[in-house]
Amino acid sequence: MITAMETKLPKLVTALPGPNAKRVVERDTQFMSPSYTRDYPLVAKRGRGAVVEDVDGNSFLDFAAGIAVCSTGHCHPKVVAAIQQQAAELIHMSGTDFYYESMPLLAERLVNTLSGSTPKKAFFTNSGAEAIESAIKLARYATKRDKMIAFYGCFHGRTMGALSLTASKTTQRKGFGALLSGVEHIPFPYAYRCTNGHTPETCGAEILEQLEQQIFKRLFDPEEVAGIIIEPIQGEGGYVVAPNFFLQELQRICRKHGIMLIADEVQSGMGRTGNWWAHQYAGIEPDIVCSAKGIASGMPLGAIFAPASIMNWKPGSHGTTFGGNPVCIAAALATADLIAGQYLENVNRMGEYLFTRLADWTKKFKIVGDVRGRGLMIGVEIVRDQRTKEKAADLRNVIVDSTFHASTPPFSTLTFVKPCA
């Protein structure tokens, strides 16, 4: 059933924030942890498709898809129906201790979207950070090693193990003391800012050389490294796409030394780039794939996938009370149906359209340094000067704030533009 909200264009009916929103923000300030990051006072009440309405009746276009979570749009009727039906039947028993029919069903659906014929298994979590924690543990368990290598600019989560891999902003680490030991970071292939002048297809050869000739010879013997984790497309790092050859060479190095190659697809997976998984553009088969965000259209669910030969830990080695909750699983099954049936094709069609429209922005706008991404995972880098490529966080913030406060419908948009801080 199509509701009236689905036909609305973005529209402002009050000054922002409106009176109801102000009351919510004041209460939030009084009772909520100040660690949450809010860029502008959007107080959401309901959502449908790409439109979000606030508590004062203002409506916005959600360019962020609920921070890359609402992969089928807000409150897709089929997802809502699946949630309602499951909630009326069984909400929880704990898949760690008992069986659900839907858990292996979803696991089968999702492992079949991965490349390769090797039998694979899944472990369900509550979030992306938990998926990363699970991947760290599985890599250590499978290899009997304890060192990890990650990349500058990456974001893998804020729990202590995931935070140890994260190298995005100092504020995320400051004040928390010693993190997980045995973690080293290396540069990510960032073609727009490549100091060696490489193209998006060739950037990164020097990084691979640094890994083999410096890290492996001066810091970590490769036989002590459990895993190398990479976002095929960095999310918070600025929607930076790793070149295909770089991912292929990274896989070769990992296999040479018996290291687990871990693909963090929490943001880039579930069809957002036009493939089920961003790493599939490079034709690689990571040892462990991490997923969350768009996996269940807004319900809290994450997962890791690995070959059965790797995911062979014994009962009790790892578990979770809520991971793989029946209601979340139902939402994920509906999500998978929708992605396979229509949205994967839509991502490619709309992504091609948007890249065509954005292709000349670096010529039209002096503050646009680069346009990049895959599918509907698109980043526009704002700079102060195209020649020097000086970063311009203040200009970016003005754009974000302006899109929220725009008073001329239908151009009011809820955006999320936080790369390249």
pLDDT at 8 (0 to 100): 60
Other Cβ atoms within 10 Å of 175 Cβ, number: 7
Between CA 344 and CA 164, with CA 150 as vertex, the angle to 5 degrees is 110
Using CB atoms within 10 Å of the CB of residue 29, give its burial: 0 to 12 exposed, 13 to 18 middle, 19+ buried: exposed
386-414 pLDDT per residue, tens: 999 999 999 999 999 988 987 444 444 44
Amino acid at site 241? V
pLDDT per residue over 89-136, tens digit each? 999 999 999 999 999 999 999 999 999 999 999 999 999 999 999 999
Rg (the chain; Cα; Å): 22
- pTM for this structure? 0.94
Phi and psi angles of residue 119, each rounded to the nearest 5 degrees, phi first: -60, 135
Tell me the pLDDT tens digit for each residue of 231-260: 999 999 999 999 999 999 999 999 999 999
Tell me the average pLDDT of the chain: 93
| Cα separation, 211 vs 176, whole angstroms | 28
Mean pLDDT of 211-224: 97
Give 288-305 pLDDT, tens digit per residue.
999 999 999 999 999 999
Residue 197: the pLDDT is 86
